[in-house]
Structure 1
Amino acid sequence: MNELLRAPANAVSRRAVPYWTVRAALGWLAPLIGCSVWLVFGATREVSAVTLVVIAAVALAHLVVMPRWRYRVHRWETTPEVVYTQSGWFNQERRIAPLSRLQTVDTERGVIERIFGLANLTVTTASARGPVHVHGLDLATAQRLAAELAERTQATAGDAT
């Protein structure tokens, strides 16, 4: 079990960095557009201009730092006994799910993930803590891993409860 105290061995796909950047940029569009509209139609241009500059600076810092930081943190690994993940960027989490507790293994791809050739893996366990997620895998790795985990789960003794 001491080997599981280390970070998982596998990084997610490098394509996760531009994907996370685009996804975050889309999230910043509404505040930036709203503030721009306020700047054009608002009564106090100085306040709205300063607000727009602050929002733009925070957005830029977020878009530069978050995806790269998240890439350095996000890791995954499987062993014959467990699925081991590490995720987050600001709040970080490590999860270890024994194969004997696995119930389902799913892959998921949103529109933007399909553009970048990425997929997410969700491993549902018999745990109150909820499913284990691996975000930012390349599609081939996610499909291989899902098939491998499903096969191992069937071969593992136990009723996943």
Structure 2
Amino acid sequence: MVRLRPPRNRVERRAVTYWLTNELATVAVPAVVLAVLALLIGPARPWLLLAMGIVLAVGVPYGIAVPFWRYRVHRWEVTEDAVYTRSGWLWQEWRIAPMSRIQTVDTARGPLEQLFRLSSVTVTTASAAGPLKIQGLDHELAAELVERLTETTRSNRGDAT
């Protein structure tokens, strides 16, 4: 029986900068759109600038705080028996995927992740809760992890359902 316990490994420290960049870019896009519209639409300028101010006042502190909190919370571990993950911000989720239940293992690297030499690993099972995701891994470690999980699941003759 596999029991729920805190995973041991932190994500890569570079993930904080990646998440920070991602969050602030997410805030910057609507702020820039609102600023451009304020320049182009004179009668609506005060309302558009107010909306831009609200987006920045809420989005910037959120975008700065969340990456550091995620780094503090996000953990992962792979043992011979299972994959353990802990993630979340306000709602934290601890998950276990027994090796015998793993169906697929995938890795993904978006353009921004590539810039920071990071990857995400997704472990899919037949669980209704969906796949386990380990985000913010060094891209070389992620490749090694996928290879290890693939070998482990290949040699483990579980039912994967």
Report the TM-score when normalising by structure 1.
0.90
Q: Does 1:74 align with 2:74?
A: yes
After TM superposition, the structure 1 = structure 2 runs for residues 1-150 of structure 1, keeping only pairs within 5 Å, are 4-40=3-39, 41-150=41-150
**Cα deviation, residue 79, structure 1:** 1.3
Report the TM-score when normalising by structure 2.
0.90
Unaligned runs of 5+ in 1: none
Structure 2: how far apart are the matches of 1:37 and 1:90?
Answer: 34
Structure 1 counterpart SS, 2:105: strand
Structure 1 counterpart SS, 2:24: helix
CA gap 1:37/1:107 in 2 versus in 1, 3 angstroms: same
Higher mean alpha-carbon deviation, 83-92 vs 98-107, is at 83-92
Q: Which whole-Å deviations, capped at 9, do the CAs of 1:20-65 have from their partners, x for residues lacking one?
A: 1111122123320222124322425443333322211112102210
Percent identity for Structure 1 against Structure 2 = 46
Q: Does the aligned pair in 2 maintain the 1:42–1:48 contact within 8 Å?
A: no
Q: Which whole-Å deviations, capped at 9, do the CAs of 1:58-100 have from their partners, x for residues lacking one?
A: 1210221011011111110111111010112232211110000
Q: Which amino acid aligns with 1:10?
A: N
**Cα deviation, residue 8, structure 1:** 0.9
Q: Which amino acid aligns with 1:58?
A: V
Structure 1: how far apart are the matches of 2:106 and 2:33?
Answer: 37
Aligned residues: 160
Unaligned runs of 5+ in 2: none
Structure 2: how far apart are the matches of 1:42 and 1:131?
Answer: 48
Which residue number corresponds to residue 153 of structure 1?
153
Structure 2: how far apart are the matches of 1:5 and 1:124?
Answer: 18
Structure 2 counterpart SS, 1:47: helix
Kindly report the root-mean-square deviation, in angstroms, between the aligned alpha carbons of the 2 structures.
1.7
Structure 2 counterpart SS, 1:105: strand
